[in-house]
Chain A
Amino acid sequence: MRKYLLKRIFYLFLTLFIVATATFFLMKLMPGTPLQNEAKLTPSEKASILAQYGLDKPVWLQYLIYIGGIFKGSLGLSFQFSDQAVSYLIGSRMGPSMQLGGQAMVVGVIFGIILGAVGAIRKDTWADRLATVVSILGIAVPSFVLAILLQYYLGLKLGWFPVAGWQGFVYSILPTLALAASPLAETARFIRTDMVDVLSSDYIELAKAKGLSKFGIVYHHALRNSLIPMVTLIGPLAAALMTGSMVVENIFSVPGIGEQFVKSILVNDYPTIMGVTIFYSALLCLLLLLTDIVYGIIDPRIRLSGNGD
């Protein structure tokens, strides 16, 4: 197990390195410069500012300097916020993003499982069809459309929740709902397909032959077996949440990383773009690693084979 973990962690760093490299050069291909009032600057002023940030050097040298910085543990300084450290910027904005992402994940997965399970158990009834419609809507409707609808109806018309801002839990409810729709739908679809399969398997037939109740069969046998493949969905779901958060955080003015990221791209704040990308990649890689470990815990068949490797 330890050997396996070490190997996975090595791959994790390799992945991050490749992501950082690719992002760096792609980012340099973007049009524009970090300078805000470029037109008003004289060429010499411009040159001196670029030199100050090391942007006058050839791209490959900038790359080497940046990677060197990372190995020293520094993500660089932000251009747009008067030389704040990027790591500090991410750290100070992590709270709201994590809270939102976490809440959306929990809400989405739990209700998704319930919806999917109901669909599978009551297959081909109105309950199943309703669950299908909900999950199709959840996948088809983009989170920003849902966000605006939620803001308009629940926020503005009914006045139940604040429309935007970030001053406590109530403020997190609407963005959480907007963000949770997609994982909810994905989970419901996944669980339904999976559980329909599981429910027609021989061991469920045997469980029925034991005289177990419907609930007992679903709870003790079907759910666990349907949840195992579900674990592999956690990684992609987390990725979807991250991208979703960029839009949703902007709409609800949540002071999170996603909002920051979008701004940085607009103003060519290179160190922040790099920093957030690496941070998100690292988070996703860690989640995937965690997923594999969890997979081994709930599926006894994988535990042993994981050992040998």
Chain B
Amino acid sequence: MENPENVIEVRNLQIDFHTYAGEVKAIRDVSFDLRKGETLAIVGESGSGKSVTTRSLMGLLAPNAVIKNGSIMFHGEDIIKKSEKEMQHIRGKDIAMIFQDPMTSLDPTMRIGMQIAEPLMKHKGLKKKEAIAQALEMLKLVGITNPEGRINDYPYQFSGGMRQRIVIAIALVCYPEVLIADEPTTALDVTIQAQILDLMKDLQNRIDTSIIFITHDLGVVAGMADRVAVMYAGKIVEYGTVDEIFFNPQHPYTWGLLNSMPTLDTEGGSLTAIPGTPPDLLDPPVGDAFAARSDYAMKIDTEKEPPFFKVSDTHYAATWLLHPDAPKVTPPAEIVRRQKKFAAMEKPEPPIKKETKE
């Protein structure tokens, strides 16, 4: 490990998918760290590679995926080099995962108590009875009312929000060091979303786990994350603390994302969208992949891939706009407004805690 604070270090990860049409370059040189106890949000639109990245941490890539290059260091060992058997001892114990759709991610024919107990029996070698007893504790922890009466119920007897609580209980029952949450609230309605997010934050403190939070919902990111990595077309294009990403974004793609998120200040009747579609990763574009959709693209963007430019110690963005020779551009009005706010936040000693009033 380069940094003892890090739980996971991903370096130069490159993943291809073999398809009938050819090799899809889904992940193109992705590097990031996950620090102890933090929540790292990975945001990006569908197909940007955020799910693939996290599946590779679990060793759960589809059979047609090939890891071309890179390393994923966890406990000083490279996960990529581990066998399926070795991964089985990590999955569910050290690294656990929550899925998107609670309606389909529980086995419909197994009592929920048993489903929560399964990882304990597998990883801690507990007998069924002890495991069920701990599952009961876990049900209490995730806020299922009357857990004694419900532990023998089947998934169909629970609502979506309750099921997601059960999925969270399954993921956390072995107190994993890393929790990967793959759009855990996307399938839930907004009020339930807030409850689930609160629950996750609460449990993160109690269990002391690091969370990788995948989402396309920037509103959720603002409330959950410590740091944010923005992915586009299989690459991370910008990363920084949540304040830096929200109030001082540098990459035109991040501008586009933030600009298309309606806020209370949004005026007029129409929402802004990023024009165009993401590039075809069968044949990724040269240079900055976002150039074709960007109003701020320069000639070099179509010729040479931008390196990461440092904005602050914690904030980096891969855009030629940050190059000293680049012409000064004015971001969209909404972004300028945000950056002004950021400048104001920098001044007073304890920076105002971010976002929710946004």
Q: Are B105 and A202 closer than 8 Å at their CB atoms?
A: yes
List chain A residues, Cβ under 8 A from B90. 211
A205 contacts the other chain (Cβ, under 8 Å)?
yes
Q: Are B107 and A212 closer than 8 Å at their CB atoms?
A: no
Which of the listed residues A205, A210, A216 has the most CB atoms from chain B within 10 Å of its own CB? A210
Q: Mark B40-80, 1 if CB is under 8 A from A, else 0.
A: 00000000000000000010100000000000000000000
B249 contacts the other chain (Cβ, under 8 Å)?
no
A207 contacts the other chain (Cβ, under 8 Å)?
yes
Instruction: List the B residue with the shortest CB-CB distance to A298.
Output: B109
CA distance A216 to B91 in the complex (A): 14
B123 contacts the other chain (Cβ, under 8 Å)?
yes
Q: Are B108 and A212 closer than 8 Å at their CB atoms?
A: no
Instruction: List the B residue with the shortest CB-CB distance to A222.
Output: B107
Instruction: List the B residue with the shortest CB-CB distance to A212.
Output: B122
Q: Are B154 and A208 closer than 8 Å at their CB atoms?
A: no
Q: Are B88 and A300 closer than 8 Å at their CB atoms?
A: no
A255 CB → nearest B CB, Å: 43
CA distance A259 to B23 in the complex (A): 61
- Given the interface pairs A205-B105, A225-B107, A299-B109, the reply to whether A210 lies near B91 with Cβ below 8 Å is yes
CA distance A261 to B13 in the complex (A): 71
- Given the interface pairs A205-B60, A216-B122, the reply to whether A211 lies near B89 with Cβ below 8 Å is yes
Chain A residues 184-233 with CB under 8 Å of chain B are: 201-203, 205-213, 216, 220-221, 224-225, 228
B119 contacts the other chain (Cβ, under 8 Å)?
yes
A72 contacts the other chain (Cβ, under 8 Å)?
no
Q: Are B154 and A301 closer than 8 Å at their CB atoms?
A: yes
Q: Are A207 and B107 closer than 8 Å at their CB atoms?
A: yes
List chain B residues, Cβ under 8 A from A298. 109
Contact among B97, B99, B106, B156 with A301 in the assembled complex (CB-CB below 8 Å): B156
Contact among A206, A213, A225, A228 with B88 in the assembled complex (CB-CB below 8 Å): A213
- Classify chain A: how many residues form its interface, as a range: 20 to 34
B96 contacts the other chain (Cβ, under 8 Å)?
yes
- Given the interface pairs A201-B104, A203-B104, A301-B156, the reply to whether A208 lies near B60 with Cβ below 8 Å is yes
Q: Are B109 and A225 closer than 8 Å at their CB atoms?
A: yes
CA distance A216 to B115 in the complex (A): 13
Contact among B99, B104, B108, B123 with A211 in the assembled complex (CB-CB below 8 Å): B123
- Given the interface pairs A202-B101, A211-B90, the reply to whether A301 lies near B108 with Cβ below 8 Å is yes
List chain B residues, Cβ under 8 A from A300. 108-109, 154, 156
A128 CB → nearest B CB, Å: 13
Q: Are B108 and A203 closer than 8 Å at their CB atoms?
A: yes
List chain B residues, Cβ under 8 A from A224. 109-110
Contact among A202, A209, A213, A220 with B110 in the assembled complex (CB-CB below 8 Å): A220
B41 CB → nearest A CB, Å: 20
Q: Are B107 and A221 closer than 8 Å at their CB atoms?
A: yes
List chain B residues, Cβ under 8 A from A228. 109
CA distance A224 to B154 in the complex (A): 14
Instruction: List the B residue with the shortest CB-CB distance to A224.
Output: B109
List chain A residues, Cβ under 8 A from B97. 206, 209
List chain B residues, Cβ under 8 A from A205. 60, 99, 105
CA distance A203 to B91 in the complex (A): 15
Q: Are B88 and A212 closer than 8 Å at their CB atoms?
A: yes
List chain B residues, Cβ under 8 A from A299. 108-109
Q: Mark A225-266, 1 if CB is under 8 A from B, else 0.
A: 100100000000000000000000000000000000000000
B92 contacts the other chain (Cβ, under 8 Å)?
yes
Q: Are A210 and B119 closer than 8 Å at their CB atoms?
A: yes
B200 contacts the other chain (Cβ, under 8 Å)?
no
Instruction: List the A residue with the shortest CB-CB distance to B89.
Output: A211
B170 contacts the other chain (Cβ, under 8 Å)?
yes
CA distance A208 to B91 in the complex (A): 8
List chain A residues, Cβ under 8 A from B154. 300-301
List chain A residues, Cβ under 8 A from B110. 220-221, 224
B118 contacts the other chain (Cβ, under 8 Å)?
yes
Contact among B58, B99, B118 with A212 in the assembled complex (CB-CB below 8 Å): B118
A226 CB → nearest B CB, Å: 10
Q: Mark B293-332, 1 if CB is under 8 A from A, else 0.
A: 0000000000000000000000000000000000000000
B93 contacts the other chain (Cβ, under 8 Å)?
yes
Q: Are B106 and A211 closer than 8 Å at their CB atoms?
A: no
- Given the interface pairs A211-B90, A211-B122, the reply to whether A206 lies near B106 with Cβ below 8 Å is yes
B14 CB → nearest A CB, Å: 23
B167 contacts the other chain (Cβ, under 8 Å)?
yes
- Which chain B residues have a beta carbon within 8 Å of chain A's beta carbons? 58, 60, 87-93, 96-97, 99, 101, 104-110, 118-119, 122-123, 154, 156, 167, 170-171
In the complex, 13 of the A-B residue pairs with CB atoms within 8 angstroms, ordered by the A residue number, are A203-B108, A206-B105, A208-B60, A209-B60, A209-B96, A209-B97, A209-B171, A210-B96, A210-B118, A211-B90, A212-B88, A216-B122, A301-B156
Q: A203-B105, A300-B108 are in contact. List 14 more A-B contacts (CB 8 A).
A: A203-B108, A205-B99, A205-B105, A208-B91, A209-B97, A210-B96, A210-B119, A211-B89, A211-B119, A211-B122, A212-B122, A224-B109, A225-B107, A301-B154
